[in-house]
Every structure is written in structure tokens, then in C-alpha cells.
Amino acid sequence: MNHRLATLLSQEDVSTAATKTIDLDVSTPISRINIVYRVTNANQTMIAHPAKCLTKVEIVDGSEVVYSTDGMALRAAAFYGTGKEPVDILDYNTSSECYFQANFNFGRWLYDPILALDPTKFKNLQLKITQNKALGGSTPSSATLAVFADIFDEKPVSPTGFLMTKEIYSYLPAASAHEYIDLPTDFPYRMIMTVGPSDTKMPMWRIDKVKLSEDFDKKLPIPTTDMLQLLHGIVSMYPQIMDHIIAQVATTETDVYMCAGYDCYAVGSPYGDTHGVIAFGNGAGGHIHAYAEAASTYWIHAGGWCPHNYVLLPICDINDIEDFYVVDHLKSLRLDLLAGSSPGTTDAVKVIIQQLRSY
């Protein structure tokens, strides 16, 4: 067998908020790590997408942080890296489960023979997952966690490096204000993502313009560009994000949480015996308002773009290593984000990078 699925952590109860540490003592290269998280709802009042429950996911080697982000950004990076939405089943009903996966992709695709995480290249590699069930689902009463790894088995491979993803900056935007972020210039870039979750604001409402500058404007890989223009580029390159949701919808405004953050829409039909018309409006930032003719459980098909409200900035062909954005010759690499006139000041704007780290 060339490849196999290994269990790093069998499903266990994580109803208490805590950090789980798992030794990555696998002796063969890892192509992907899959976090499977489930919450059991105590009621039908939706709080947020369950991926919000993963507040921090890290891979560390002693004191060195090799990989660090949260559940939503991890899922967004997986989508942009592969063009496929990570699995989730969003059943927000009482006693039902909200289920999702968050994937660490160490290669350009599953079982990329060139890029994979090789634990033997490190001294004490560990996966750390910090979670709090109270942050997502419908007021969960319990939660479980399991972790699996897609690894190379009998197929001999010698990866030259792996993809390393990190959150490097987070801030609360001020209306129409610039934020200047100095980016690291140590490893080649495959991805730069920005914006981040917001229940009410699409990406272009939070960030109006983006600029990427080398050596204090000597060269502009991304000249000052409207976020909306960048979004149109994303729409042309990636498929829609689609969620299948089961939720209780009232005759008054009900917030329903989904993965897509931009140009959100939904259609629905009755799930049980009660029949009635359902309508939707004001979809933005990872949620949409629903209104039902009769309060009942509905099956909702929700779609849009930009997973968890993240936007991928255009810097390279993500599948061509030779085209990755090389920056080690630069003295300065700066991202300039100009906030919109009403960006929302309770949710952070984040900057996530994915780099090629060679062995």
C-alpha cells in the first residue's frame, strides 16, 4: 500500500475548553493532517459556525512554532490551496451534531511527493489544538475531537520541504485608516490571505484597498487595488462554497451561519412536517438572515465565495513551485491595508501567510 490513513487521536470528549497536545512521532512523511470536531447542540439558538471553536492550532518543535493559525483560517487555506471546500455538516437542531474538518495540507495536493511534512527532520514535533465548544454551533452541551493523518506508507518519497501556514498579524480596523504590516522575508510565499471572519461585513466592506510593496515602493507586486476587484478575480478562479444546513427558522429574523463570506445567498425548503415559505436576505461575512412563514426546521442550501471571509491575494501560481514568490533578497516587504468607511471594529482583520519551507 503506497498510502494509508493513520489515527493520531481517537475520538475523545473535549467538552471542557482546553489545549490537546499530540506527539507527531510518525516515521514516514505526512501529506495531510485532518482535525475532526463535533459539537452536540443543547438548543436551536445558533451562535456561530462550529469552526470558530478551534481558537488555535499549532505544530511546534520544542520552542519553535512551525505552523500556527485558527480553525477558520486553516479551512480557508485548505480551500484556496486545493480548490475544494473542507467537509462540514451543519445541523443546528437540538441534540444534533455540527461536524466539520480542518485540514493541514503540507503539499500542493494530497500525496504531493515533493512537499510533505517529514517528522524525522525535527527533534520533538507536536500538534497542539486549543478549542472551546461554547464558541460555535447551537449552545453545545458537549464536543468531541479526533485527528487523522494521510501518510506515505510503502511508496518511497524524499520531500524537499513542506508548506508552512501562520497567522502573522491581527488588528481591529479603524474607519478609512491604513494599516502597514511588515511581512517576513525568510521563505518563498505560496499564499497571502487577509480579512477574516465577521458576522455582518463582507471583505470589501472591511478592507477597501490593498497594496503589496517591495523595498519601500521600489516594486509593487500588487499596486493599490480595490478589494472588490481582487474578489472578482477569486470568483473567476475558484468554485462556489456550498453548505447544506439544517436549522430552526422563526417567523422573525433568524441568523444562520455558513462558510462563505462574500456574495452569500441561500434557498430552503421544509425539513419536517410543517410546510411554509422561507426567505433570505442580508447575507454577509459568514451568515445570512432567514425568515419563515411558519416557525419550523428547514433544509437550507447556502452558497457564496471567500471561505470564512478570507481573500487570497494574487502572488503566484500556487501549483508551480518555480513560480512561488521568492523574497529572501528583499530588505522590506510591506502589506498596506486601507479599511473601508464602516469596517466593523469588533472583529479582527487578520493576515495569514503560507510559505515553502525547505529541509
Q: What is the CATH number of the domain that holds 194?
A: 2.60.120.730
Is 253 inside any structural domain? no
Give the pLDDT confidence score for residue 213 in this predicted structure: 98
Question: Per-residue pLDDT tens for 125-165?
Answer: 999 999 999 999 999 999 999 999 999 987 889 999 999 99
**Which residue ranges in the chain fall short of pLDDT 50?**
none
Rounded Cα distance between 34 and 32, Å, is 7
Query: How many domains does the structure of the chain reveal?
Result: 1
**Is 120 a domain residue?**
yes
CB-count exposure of residue 45 (10 Å: 0-12, 13-18, 19+): middle
CA distance 108 to 23: 24
The values of phi and psi at residue 75, to 5°, are -65, -40
Q: For residue 281, tell me if it sits in a domain.
A: no
Q: Is residue 84 part of a domain?
A: yes
Q: Is 45 contained in some domain?
A: yes
In a domain, 13, yes or no: yes
Which domain covers residue 158, as residue numbers? 3-239+307-358
Task: Decide if 210 is inside a domain.
Answer: yes
CB 147 within 8 A of CB 157: no
Domain assignment present for 268: no
Chain segment 231-286, per-residue pLDDT in tens: 999 888 999 999 999 999 999 999 999 999 999 999 999 987 777 889 998 889 99
